[in-house]
Chain A
Amino acid sequence: MSGGNQYVVAAYAVIWFLVLAYVVMLGARTARVGRQVEAISRMLDRRAAESDTPEGDDG
């Protein structure tokens, strides 16, 4: 019985597909963290701009 090639291919394809899908999910999470970092740095920029204009105080 050696006509089972398609099953072996299917089994390993499923393994690869699901592991990759998992990694993509991890990547999506990293992307979310990246967006949060951007938000924080925008907030910091805004804050720096606000504290710059009235006082001109930088330290």
Chain B
Amino acid sequence: MPSSTTDHASRRVIGARAALIWGVIAAVLVTVASVGVFLVAPEDADQGVIQRIFYFHVAIALVSLVIFAVACVAGILYLRTRNVRWDDVSVTAIRIGMLFSVLVIITGSIWAKASWGTWWVWADPRLVTYLIVVLIYAAYFVLRSSVDDDRRLRYSAIYAIAGFVSVPLSFYSVRIAQSFVHPVVFTSGGANMPGSMLIWFLISLAAMLALFIALLEVELVGRRTERALRALSLRLESS
């Protein structure tokens, strides 16, 4: 019977297994990272307990750059192949990237409040650049919702590429301006982190990366299912 083969094919097209596997990996890694950050990692000598924000804050910030890179590459692949699956990847990645960038801003703002007493510090390059990044990618959704059909996919892909070019430019411009105005403000650990902290930072980084992949896979499954369903209902209506 043809029904069993289409069923099999659609299962392969939708690809739900990856979502499941990555969901489990993300859950495990996030749990391990949370336990490590709160219970195992040593207290920072200067900043005390506040420094514990750093692990997820910086991990999310780094992963969000990876996410926007993924969106850019998917945009390039869409323009080359005109395969709608790449548009799925691109738009989904940017949605998750927005979530992550907003998280960077909020956690960074809380950190600023905790260490400098104000919610917003223009001297903190990470806070400022992620504000610009959020503005850049918020425009992506405005653009996307105001064009239709083929143009929507094409323009989205082009903007995903142009947006990703704007990201390093914003990073660099904020930092050179910063370096002329204030010599060194805030290094947030970075290279001079002791090994026991570095381990937990790397685990947090892996956890956030896995969280991204899991969210991406889940949402891709949803998008593919929606599309399969739309095709199915069209076929039923025409028959």
Contact = CB atoms under 8 A, between A and B. Distances in A.
- Asked if A and B touch directly (CB within 8 angstroms), the answer is yes
Interface of A: 1-2, 4-5, 7-8, 10-12, 14-15, 18-19, 22-23, 26, 29-30, 33, 36-37, 40, 43-44
Contact of A33 (B56, B57, B226): B226
Contact of A8 (B53, B102, B103, B211): B53
Contact of A19 (B99, B106, B111): B99
A11 B107 contact: yes
B47 A1 contact: yes
Nearest to B223: A29
A33 B225 contact: yes
A15 B103 contact: yes
Contacts of A23: 215, 218
Contacts of B147: none
B183 interface: no
Interface of B: 34, 43, 47-50, 52-53, 56-57, 60, 96, 99, 102-103, 106-107, 110-111, 113-115, 211, 215, 218-219, 222, 225-226, 229, 232-233, 236
A8 to B, nearest CB: 5
B99 A7 contact: no
A33 B223 CA distance: 10
A12 B31 CA distance: 13
Contacts of A5: 49
A50 to B, nearest CB: 13
B229 A1 contact: no
Q: Which of A7, A19, A23, A33 has the most CB of B within 10 A?
A: A7
A22 B43 CA distance: 31
Given A4-B115, A11-B106, A12-B53, 6 more contacts: A1-B47, A1-B50, A5-B49, A8-B49, A29-B222, A40-B233
Contact of B229 (A12, A26, A37, A44): A37
Given A4-B50, A18-B99, A11 B110 contact: yes
A2 B43 contact: yes
11 contacts: A4-B115, A5-B49, A7-B114, A12-B34, A12-B53, A18-B103, A23-B215, A26-B215, A33-B229, A36-B233, A43-B236
A18 B95 CA distance: 13
Contact of A14 (B43, B47, B103, B233): B103
Given A11-B107, A19-B99, A30-B222, A2 B56 contact: no
B27 to A, nearest CB: 11
Contacts of B236: 40, 43-44
